[in-house]
Amino acid sequence: MTARQEMMEFLTAKWVPPVLAALAELGVADELTEKPLAVDELAERVGAKALPLYRLLRAAASVGVFQEDADGRFGLTETAELLRADVPGSLRPAAMMFGLEPFWTPYAQVVQTARTGEPAFDRVYGKSIYQYLQENPDEAQIFGAAAAGFHGQALAPIVASYDFSAYGVVVDVGGGSGGLLVELLKAYPALRGVLLEQADVLPEAEEVFAANGLTGRVELVAGDFFDQVPPGDAYLIKSCVHNFDDDRAIDLLRVLRRGGAPLLLVETMIPAGNEPHYSKFDDVEMMVIAGGRDRTEAEWAALVAAAGYEPGRVVRCDDRFSLLEAFVR
């Protein structure tokens, strides 16, 4: 591949997410679980026009998502399976989220972010992403489901990578619907958990713990992690602190420090060098959308130290996440 061809691939990659988002929202993959279908039948099932749907599917098939057979029928590929709603770790909500205007439009203002350091989202919408999601519950639901699917496959490796047996009660701070805490409680039968989340998230979390037979071992606490945290033997916080700039992140970590227990911080850590890594573009997403940032291992250690912790070891969990332990000085 020439340099020009490579650059063209990078530039035209912008066409892929909205195509996949449309097919995900239409539920195309769910209609193909039994067998390939002709476009006319598929269009009728998903409520679309046949020709536009064909054009979207043809484009998706060209990058290995779906496939067209010799008879013009479309079927699933291994990659397209991830757009089904009923598969473990489904990325259908993530595909839908990346097609939503709030996660797309701000990138038109990325130059202003580079010039000012301010998140483009705030410039476009006049409010933060967090305020926006509070005011738009349907999109907030997609965002929450996307986060669960996006990070779901990392939960078991996180639990397996670190010895949690020293703790009797682990507080999962901002733990969403409780997926990470479920994995942790299953792996450590003597452990008890506390989930701190916003009140509107807790009903879904309650269902998740009940479905896993863990209701008696977990306490659900509604609250704001910038105000206070419930007591526990360790504070586990995953993929939350990177949402904030250094000043706000330190404010959050100081609230956790007041709890007096060790900190178990799970985040992406940007590696040195020019090799591709999820964190390098996730960092740009944080900059444009949330005003936060991903950080290197040294930057994470400096951040927790600034909040009054003594940084400890870093444990690599998988190809994306690492766990940094830190102790109250």
Residue ranges per domain, the chain? 3-88, 101-148, 152-328
pLDDT for res 184: 97
Q: Which residues are catalytic?
A: 242
Residue 131 CA to residue 94 CA, distance in Å, equals 20
**Per CATH, the architecture of 152-328 is what?**
3-Layer(aba) Sandwich (3.40)
Q: pLDDT tens digits for 241-277?
A: 999 999 999 999 999 999 999 999 999 999 999 999 9
Q: CA 316 to CA 269: how far, in whole Å?
A: 9
pTM comes to 0.91
pLDDT band at 151 (very low <50, low <70, confident <90, very high): confident
Helix/strand number for the chain, H first, E second: 15, 10
Note whether 3-88 and 152-328 share their fold.
no
**Overall average pLDDT of the 209-215 stretch:** 96
Residue with tokens 């940084």: 311
CATH code for residues 3-88: 1.10.10.10
Check if the beta carbon of residue 312 is closer than 8 Å to that of residue 325: yes
With CA atoms as reference, report the closest residue to 62 among 3, 131, 9: 9
Q: Is the pLDDT of residue 144 over 90?
A: no
Do residues 302 and 269 lie in contact, with contact meaning Cβ atoms separated by under 8 Å? no
d(CA 40, CA 44): 6
| Under 8 Å between Cβ of 238 and 180 | yes
Element (H, E) at 142: helix 137-151
